[in-house]
Amino acid sequence: MPPFLSEPVKDLIFRMLQGDPMNRITISEIKQHKWFNSQISLFQIIDNNRYIYGRSNEVDESIIDYMKTLDINFEGFDDAKIKQAIAMRERKEFCIIYEFLESSKNKKITNEKKQKLKSKILQAY
Residues with Cβ within 8 Å of 72's Cβ and at least 6 positions away in sequence, in order, are 93, 94, 97
Q: Per mean pLDDT, which range of 18-22, 37-41, 55-59, 84-88 is the poorest?
A: 37-41
pLDDT in tens, 72-115: 888 889 989 998 888 887 888 888 888 889 888 888 888 888 88
pLDDT-derived band at 55, boundaries 50, 70, 90: low
The closest alpha carbon to 104, from 66, 47, 75, 48, belongs to 66
Residue 94: CB atoms within 10 A of its CB come to 20
- Give the C-alpha separation, 3 to 93, whole Å: 38
